[in-house]
Amino acid sequence: MSDYLNELFNLDGKVAVVVGGTGELCGAMAEGLAGAGVTTVLVGRSQEKAQARIAKIEQAGGKATFETANLADKQSIRDLLARVCEAHGGVDILINGAGANSPTPFLDIPEDEYDRLFDINTKAVFLSCQVFGKYFLEKGQGGSIINVGSMSGVTPLSRVFTYSATKAAVHNLSKNLAREWAPQKIRVNTIVPGFFPAEQNRKVLTEERVGQIMGHTPMKRFGEAKELIGATLLLASDSAGSFITGAEILVDGGYAAMTI
C-alpha cells in the first residue's frame, strides 16, 4: 500500500467491537478490519462460528477475540465493554450488525415474534449505542459507530414487515445520534447492504423472490460479503471518513437506483 493510502486509511492499533461478528456479513467486515490492523472483538452466540472466523483472521496475520453478551440487557453490554477495555485498553469502533428476520404474513405475526425481532434488530442497537456512546463521550477522543441497516429500512419490501420496521428504526436512530454527537467527533453512520444471501434471509429467498430481486438489481447478482469491507474501512477511518456522519452508505449493486 502506498504511503498516501496508508495514511488515509490507517487503522493500526484500533480496537473494534463487532456485534454480529460471528455472522456472514459482519464476520467479513471484521476480517476486513483485522486485515487493516484493527484488533476485532467478535460478539455473538456461536463460539464454534467465532473460532472458525478467528482462525481465518489469525491465519492472515490479524488479531481477533470472541465475547458473548445479552444484547437486550444494558448491564450485560456494560460488562462486555468493561471486559474489552480491560483486555485491549479501550474501544475505537463499534459495529452493530446482529439481525434476525421472519417471512410471517402481516396478519399472522404474533406479538412474541414482533418483540423478538425488535429486541435483536433495534433494542440491541439502541442499548449498545447508549453504552458505547457514553464511553466515547467520556473518553473525549471521538469514535466511530457503524450500524448495519437494510434496503427494507430505506424503502418498504414485501413479506418482511417486522424486519422492515426494525431496520427503519435503526436508520432513524443513526441519523439522530450523528446529529447529537457530531460536536464530540463521534461519527454514526449506516451501512445499507442490498441483497446478500445470509443466514437471516435465506428463508425468504424463494425462487420467485430471487427473480424479482435480480430484475430490480442492475448488476444482476447478489452481493458477496467481502464487498462490504470497503465501506466499513471508509467509515471506520478517522482520516478517510472524518467528515462522514449521518450517512447511509448503500452497497446494493444499484438496487436503489432502479425504477422502471
Residue 258 lies in a domain: no
Q: Quick check: 129 pLDDT over 80?
A: yes
Cβ count within 10 A of residue 99? 26
Residue 99 lies in a domain: yes
Report the alpha-carbon distance of residue 180 to residue 101 in Å, rounded.
30
Instruction: Compare 236 and 2 and report the one with higher pLDDT.
Output: 236
> What pLDDT, on a 0 to 100 scale, did the predictor assign at position 183?
98
CA angle 256, 155, 246 (to 5 degrees): 80
Tally of structural domains, the chain: 1
> What pLDDT, on a 0 to 100 scale, did the predictor assign at position 118?
96
Q: Quick check: 201 pLDDT over 70?
A: no
> What pLDDT, on a 0 to 100 scale, did the predictor assign at position 228?
98
Q: Which residue range(s) make up the domain with 228?
A: 15-251
pLDDT digits (tens, 9 = 90+) for 17-73: 999 999 999 999 999 999 999 999 999 999 999 999 999 999 999 999 999 999 999
> What pLDDT, on a 0 to 100 scale, did the predictor assign at position 240?
97
> What pLDDT, on a 0 to 100 scale, did the predictor assign at position 209?
85
Residue 3 lies in a domain: no
Residues facing 190 on adjacent strands: 147, 248
Q: Quick check: 234 pLDDT over 90?
A: yes
Q: Quick check: 203 pLDDT over 80?
A: no
> What pLDDT, on a 0 to 100 scale, did the predictor assign at position 200?
60
Residue 5 lies in a domain: no
Tell me what the mean pLDDT of segment 224-246 comes to: 97
Q: Residue 156: give its domain's CATH number.
A: 3.40.50.720
In the chain, which ranges are continuous DSSP H helix? 3-8, 24-35, 47-59, 74-88, 111-118, 124-139, 151-154, 161-181, 207-216, 229-236
Q: What are phi and psi of 204, to 5 degrees?
A: -105, 0
pLDDT digits (tens, 9 = 90+) for 70-117: 999 999 999 999 999 999 999 999 999 999 998 899 999 999 999 999
Residue 179 lies in a domain: yes
pLDDT digits (tens, 9 = 90+) for 4-19: 998 899 999 999 999 9
Residue 116 lies in a domain: yes
Helix, strand or coil for residue 43?
strand
Report the alpha-carbon distance of residue 138 to residue 99 in Å, rounded.
29
Q: What are phi and psi of 193, to 5 degrees?
A: -70, 145
Residue 95 lies in a domain: yes
